[in-house]
Copies of this chain bind each other. A is one copy, B any other.
Amino acid sequence: MRIELLNTGSELLLGTVRDAHLQWLAQEIFPLGLRISRQGTVPDGSPIRDLLQEASGRSDLLIVTGGLGPTTDDITREIAAELTGRKLHLHQETLDRIQERCRRRGFAFQERMTRQAMVPEGARVLPNDNGTAPGLHIPGRDGIPDIFLLPGPPRELQPMATAHLLPFLREKTAGQDRHECRIYRVVGMGESLLEAKVGLELSKRSDLEVGYCARPNEVDFRLIGPKAVLDAVDPLVLEVIGDHLLPMEDDSMEESIVRMLTERHLTLATAESCTGGLLANRITDVPGASAVFLEGFVTYSNASKTALLGVPAELISAHGAVSELVVRAMVEGVLAKSGATHALATTGIAGPGGGSEEKPVGTVWLALSSKGEETVSWKQHLPLDRKAFKRAVTQSALDRLRRHLKSSLK
């Protein structure tokens, strides 16, 4: 099944907005054994017609985003109707829904919103729970593929695609082979060496697809294939990568932590040096975090580590701020001061300056302390860009806390 994604919107080509649809849709359809074979972006207006026409000749499904709004530059609906040779008619239920939405939100209904209730004949209306413009599914016929028109804002598109596009695709692909994608994040080892050591050998297998993606100071080594095959080659890959492996990214990490803490009436506090507030920020990004997150300290200077967390100044001068003893004093200090049941602490060298032979840029000490339990501390070397370093350190801290909460549940 050849799926093409068409993003419309002058703001995308002006760079004032960064497209989020390709990534989201690709991740959502991959578990169905599907991929987006091609994606294109055009500005508002007639270029939409050209792209729709071209893509329609080479695809089984077109997903078009944007251009369904109420203003005069929103013409995707009209172009799709024209291309598929279908007349537009007023869909009363949609108009009622838009008027009701305006009332509920205290906006005055504008006559121009009526355009959003126009529907090509034979098309299925996909209600929009988060905006005025409904989506549309125009069934394929006469060599023209199925077309889904979805609204541009991600928070309107995503629930709509989940409710209507994904079930449509699930039905189409029922019973087909589904592959998994496994990504190994590798640091301190180039893609050439990875290919020589393991990639080339694996790429000879017909049941595996091998890929590489260079990122700031790391390489994503990607394998796609049936789960059993991925599981079978996993030990080999891990052996080659060794301790060059980084923990996986997972944006829901903080959500699962807040959920587990809330359910068990536990609380959290943080003491950060090198992560500079990112740890607290990630936790407080989760709605309801205020029920479990008590307080956070960003003790960037040595003096603040002593004054706020009670880290002895002698300890810092003897071992340096980036040391096991200091991170343990930090985490125990914040646990005691805050009265929280759990605490995390970080201290490291984010760079670009501040490194030494003994403690190069990227060195970090982390610690987790839980009331009535022994403090756990660990060291990592993450030679990444400043922002990626902060992200990876918080990831490591949160991951340790998550695993600790999970295991103490058992």
A388 shortest CB reach to chain B, Å: 10
A401 shortest CB reach to chain B, Å: 16
Chain A 187-220 interface 0/1 with B at a Cβ cutoff of 8 Å (1 = within) = 0001111011001100100000011111110001
A298 contacts B300, C-beta separation under 8 Å: no
Tell me the complex Cα distance, A183–B153, Å.
Answer: 17
Chain A 13-48 interface 0/1 with B at a Cβ cutoff of 8 Å (1 = within) = 111111110111111001000011111111110010
A295 contacts B287, C-beta separation under 8 Å: no
Task: Give which listed residue, B112, B213, B281, B386, contacts A276 with CB less than 8 A.
Answer: B281
Given A47-B37, A71-B192, A353-B288 contact (CB < 8 Å): yes
Tell me the complex Cα distance, A388–B362, Å.
Answer: 30
A317 part of interface (Cβ distance < 8 Å): no
How many of chain A's residues touch chain B, expressed as a range?
A: 35 or more
B47 contacts A42, C-beta separation under 8 Å: no
Tell me the complex Cα distance, A13–B22, Å.
Answer: 7
B110 contacts A192, C-beta separation under 8 Å: yes
Tell me the complex Cα distance, A278–B275, Å.
Answer: 11
Task: Give which listed residue, B18, B112, B276, B283, contacts A20 with CB less than 8 A.
Answer: B18
Task: Give which listed residue, B40, B71, B152, B199, contacts A199 with CB less than 8 A.
Answer: B71
A26 — which chain B residues lie within 8 A by C-beta?
A: 13-15
Tell me the complex Cα distance, A183–B17, Å.
Answer: 11
Tell me the complex Cα distance, A26–B40, Å.
Answer: 15
Tell me the complex Cα distance, A277–B276, Å.
Answer: 8
A288 shortest CB reach to chain B, Å: 7
Task: Give which listed residue, B9, B10, B37, B213, contacts A11 with CB less than 8 A.
Answer: B213
A290 contacts B301, C-beta separation under 8 Å: yes
Q: What DSSP secondary structure best describes chain A's contact surface? A: mixed
A40 shortest CB reach to chain B, Å: 5
A367 part of interface (Cβ distance < 8 Å): no
A216 — which chain B residues lie within 8 A by C-beta?
A: 153, 155
Return the 7 tightest CB-CB contacts between A and B, nearest first. Answer: A276-B284, A277-B280, A15-B26, A296-B298, A277-B277, A110-B192, A295-B304
17 additional A-B residue pairs with CB within 8 Å, beyond A11-B220, A13-B37, A39-B41: A10-B222, A12-B39, A16-B181, A37-B43, A69-B191, A71-B199, A110-B195, A270-B298, A272-B277, A276-B280, A276-B283, A277-B298, A280-B280, A284-B390, A290-B301, A293-B300, A307-B337
Mark A residues whose CB is within 8 Å of B: 9-20, 22-27, 30, 35-44, 47, 51, 54, 69-73, 107-108, 110, 112-113, 131, 152-153, 155, 181, 183, 190-193, 195-196, 199-200, 203, 210-216, 220, 222, 224, 270, 272, 275-281, 283-285, 287-290, 293-301, 303-304, 307-308, 337-338, 350-354, 385-387, 390
